[in-house]
Amino acid sequence: SPQNPWTDALNYACTWAMLTQTRDEAAGKITLNVFNLGPSTFIYDCPGGGSSHYTGGSAFHCTQFIDRLKGGLGNGQYVNCTDCGTIVCSFSNLLGCDIWSSRMGGSYFDLNAINAIGYSNWISCGWPGFSYHEVAWKDNCTDADAIFDACLQVDGDANPATAPHSPLLPVNMIFGTCTSNEYRWRLSPPGASGCQACNPQPATRIRRSIT
Amino acid sequence: MKEYPIERWHEKILNGMNIVLVNYFLSTKNFEGWLFSHKLFEEPLPGVSSTVYFFKRNTNDNDEAIRIDVIENNSIQDAERTFLFLLTDVMAPMEFPEAKNENVGEICYKGFSDIDSLLMFLRGNIVIRIRSIGQKEIAVLTEAKIIDKDLINQPGEKDHRQMQLKFDLTSPAQEVLKQLASNTEDALGKKVYFKIIAPDHSIELTRTGIINTGVSLPGNIILYAINEDGAAARVSLK
């Protein structure tokens, strides 16, 4: 099956998830290790508007991703949310997790301050919002399900809409609603063009074939 | 919602070259100073094939590297749709800026950078995205111009050779065009692509045929078969 990759990928997945005892812990450690690949190995694609580099259509270019991990060119230094969601999804599922890569939004939603992979300034690209966002997502990829986001840190304090910001990598965090202190509320500010526009898009959930 | 001036694009395209390429590939020899790294195949949209080429400047580091997506569409109209997809299927909430002074392609956009480190353009049925992906951000305008020139270039007399193809180029036009997509090599095993050029947009060229208005073909539709060595055969489609 094209969804069964090879030993190199398994080596990385096992190393990243070492000493974990549950599937959620394993996916969490993989998320953390992918995020920590920035900025030396990967950086969020601000110049390209957040284009995909390691995914194309329904394919995940895992061979090139591993080449990059080993110090090669791979497909270059840039990644976007689709790449990060797919990487976490594919490597977690290698270890027995049951995760999808799935989108939220669909046209536009406002953002709170975020810290994208490879950045550390809470400005990242300086965009006021996203046209969509994609993360690794459990179960039915709805607002009741948990997400793993290796692409960005959200503000983990009691008021994510304002500074100061306390970096929090979303790991096994319920997507949630606009009033619960969960991922959606932390990612996007209140309002019609903010949190209310940041809806789960479960029809987009996918496990990309590994090439 | 992103709003691109699609009507203006279309108008500009109709005033430009009517050109369709079939099985187009980049000649890696055209990129002096670059080392070919690898290529990938993608399907950005159902039924649309893309070949992605990667080059780096030096073997020992990843400081300077470029990625070139060559997306071949069935027709110029399909290319417009793919181009719009390329511009909109990104996380950024705002439109890419138009590259008005770069003189590349019929339509060209650039990335969110002070230098031309990302260029996306449309020429005929081909959509190109070229960008810097190395640790050092570099401009890619020179490389974009090389590709665009290659797309529109009509081989001169010096390039014309007898080329052995697996089908007869002198057959009726629709018969010839049906053969192109399935012929990626000449009879000697050299990679080959085809370039069809019509004098204007009164007919619609596609990769597999001509959609005409019921009148006879203009008679001056030119087909080039070009192989990986740059040798070219030229015929007027009948």
pLDDT tens-digit series, residues A25-52 = 999 999 999 999 999 999 999 999 999 9
Å between B211 CA and nearest CA of chain A = 30
Å between B83 CA and nearest CA of chain A = 14
Which of B70, B91, B131, B135 best tests the A interface by mutation, with the highest count of A CBs <10 A? B91
Interior angle at CA B27, CA B62 and CA B173, nearest 5: 145
* Percent residues over pLDDT 90 in chain B: 68
pLDDT reading at B74 higher than 60: yes
The pLDDT of residue B156 is 83
Q: Is the peptide bond before A39 cis (omega within 30 degrees of 0)?
A: yes
A130-159: per-residue pLDDT in tens? 999 999 999 999 999 999 999 999 999 999
Q: List Cβ neighbours of A140 (8 Å cut-off, separation of 6 or more).
A: A202
A55-87: per-residue pLDDT in tens? 998 999 999 999 999 999 999 999 999 999 999
B152-164: per-residue pLDDT in tens? 999 887 777 777 8
Residues of A in contact with B45 (CB under 8 A): 57
The pLDDT of residue B131 is 97
The pLDDT of residue B217 is 64
Q: With an 8 Å Cβ cutoff, are A127 and B94 in contact?
A: yes
Asked if B48 has any chain A CB less than 8 Å from its own CB, the reply is no
Q: With an 8 Å Cβ cutoff, are B117 and A47 in contact?
A: yes
Å between A163 CA and nearest CA of chain B = 23
Mean pLDDT of B59-76: 96
Q: With an 8 Å Cβ cutoff, are A75 and B135 in contact?
A: no
Of the pLDDT bands very low, low, confident and very high (cuts 50, 70, 90), residue A194 is very high
The pLDDT of residue B173 is 83
Poorest-pLDDT segment among A180-184, B93-97, B136-140, B214-218: B214-218
* Percent residues over pLDDT 70 in chain B: 96
Residues of A in contact with B132 (CB under 8 A): 47
Q: What is the DSSP string of chain B?
A: -----HHHHHHHHHTS-EEEEES----GGGSTT-EEEEEEEEEEETTEEEEEEEEES-SS--SSEEEEEEEE-SBHHHHHHHHHHHHHSSS-SSPPPB--SS--SSEEEE-SSSS--EEEEEETTEEEEEEE-SSS----HHHHHHHHHHHH----GGGB-----SS-TTS-HHHHHHHHTT--B-TTS-BEEEEEEESSSSSEEETTEEE--SSPP-S--EEEEEETTS-EEEEE--
Joined together, the tokens standing for residue A109 give 């939603």
Say which of A47, A56, A133 has its CB closest to residue B112.
Answer: A47
The pLDDT of residue A114 is 96
Q: With an 8 Å Cβ cutoff, are A49 and B90 in contact?
A: yes
Å between A72 CA and nearest CA of chain B = 7
Answer yes or no: are the C-beta atoms of B22 and B193 closer than 8 Å.
yes
Rg of chain A taking only CA atoms, in angstroms: 16
Asked if B109 has any chain A CB less than 8 Å from its own CB, the reply is no
Residues of B in contact with A59 (CB under 8 A): 42-43
Question: Residue B147 phi/psi, 5° resolution?
Answer: -65, -45
Mean pLDDT of B47-68: 95
Under DSSP, the state recorded for A19 is T
Poorest-pLDDT segment among A12-21, B68-77, B180-189: B180-189
Closest residue of chain B to A103, computed from CA coordinates: B91
pLDDT reading at A4 higher than 60: no
Q: Where are the alpha helices (DSSP H) in chain A?
A: 7-16, 23-35, 62-69, 81-94, 183-187
The pLDDT of residue B184 is 92
pLDDT reading at B44 higher than 50: yes
Asked if B35 has any chain A CB less than 8 Å from its own CB, the reply is no
Q: List Cβ neighbours of B219 (8 Å cut-off, separation of 6 or more).
A: B236, B238
Three-state SS across A101-116? EEEEEEEEEECCCCEE
In one-letter notation, the amino acid at residue B37 is S
Q: Which residues of A touch B (CB under 8 A)?
A: 46-51, 53, 56-59, 61, 64, 72-73, 75-78, 80-81, 107-108, 125, 127-133, 211
Beta bridge mates, B39: B53
Q: With an 8 Å Cβ cutoff, are B94 and A75 in contact?
A: no
* Local structure of A100: helix, strand or coil: strand
* Local structure of A74: helix, strand or coil: coil
Find how far residue B214's CA is from the centre of its chain. Answer: 28
The pLDDT of residue B212 is 65
Q: With an 8 Å Cβ cutoff, are A47 and B111 in contact?
A: yes
The pLDDT of residue B231 is 86
Mean pLDDT estimate for chain A: 95
Q: With an 8 Å Cβ cutoff, are B131 and A127 in contact?
A: no
Asked if B44 has any chain A CB less than 8 Å from its own CB, the reply is yes
Q: With an 8 Å Cβ cutoff, are A49 and B111 in contact?
A: yes
Q: How far is Cα A76 from Cα A53, in angstroms, rounded to an integer?
A: 8
